[in-house]
Amino acid sequence: MDSQVALMVIDVQVGMFHENNPVYNSDVLLRNIKLLIEQARSSKTPIIYIQHSARPGRALEHGTPGWKIHPDILPRFEDEVIQKKTPNSFYETNLQEVLLEKGIKKLILTGIQTELCVDTTCRHARSLGYEVTLASDSHSTWARGELSAQQIIAHHNRLLCWFANVEKSNNILL
């Protein structure tokens, strides 16, 4: 175990898996994140969950069933859960303080939504000097306009290589 690394799980909340419009490739996404979490637990790597709190009436409205972290990957007592209100997991949160307190220098990023919260957090983490690894098959989104979810994910995996090491989940060692 590298004591300076943490696994981040961004916005993997019940509301992202609505039966009428679930996030792209949701079963594979959950399976890959779950495997990374299991690996992190076995190596005692810290796990940090980021939980989005949306405005009233939204799928991730604070305190609603959709706001809860997905039951397949629930945090444990020793895990950190950080609340956020914007796509940036660092903005107006205590994430930076938690990372400094734990001596974290490397982040493994997973989660939802590829082009918003995952992208923004990845770029901000790199600008703060963190070594970032993006789990290329452990983040997801929905189709937008003429772009499919698969195209958005592939595009960000190529683009974010400027800010992170981009690796498949099974190539990431925790």
pLDDT tens, the chain, 174 aa long: 467 999 999 999 999 998 888 999 999 999 999 999 999 999 999 999 999 999 999 989 999 999 999 999 999 999 999 999 999 999 999 999 999 999 999 999 999 999 999 999 999 999 999 999 999 999 999 999 999 999 999 999 999 999 999 999 999 998
Q: Is the dihedral of CA 169, 160, 14, 79 positive or negative?
A: positive
Quote the number of domains for the chain.
1
* The predicted structure's pLDDT at residue 2: 61
**pLDDT tens profile 2-15:** 679 999 999 999 99
Range of the domain at 40: 5-171
Q: What is the CATH number of the domain that holds 34?
A: 3.40.50.850
DSSP, residue by residue, 67-92: GSBPGGG---TTSEEEEESSS-TTTT
* pTM, to two decimals: 0.96
